[in-house]
Amino acid sequence: MRVLVVEDEEHLAEGLRRGLDAEGFATDVATN
């Protein structure tokens, strides 16, 4: 499953991406 993470705080978005990737999700991140 692909997940889009939209978050203004880049460090938070990166943490979410790492966690989702570790669980097997494909992620795209969009920051401000």
The mean pLDDT of 3-23, rounded to a whole number, is: 97
According to the model, what pLDDT value does residue 5 have? 98
CA dihedral 19, 22, 26, 27 (to 10 degrees): 20
CB neighbours of 23 closer than 8 A, spacing ≥ 6?
none
According to the model, what pLDDT value does residue 32 have? 83
Question: 7-16: per-residue pLDDT in tens?
Answer: 999 999 999 9
CA distance 5 to 1: 13
Q: How confident is the model at residue 27 (pLDDT cuts 50, 70, 90)?
A: very high
Domain ranges of the chain: 1-32
pLDDT at 22 over 90: yes
CA-nearest of 5, 30, 9, 31 to 17 is: 5
Q: Which helix (H) or strand (E) holds 29?
A: strand 26-30
Place of tokens 């939209």: 6
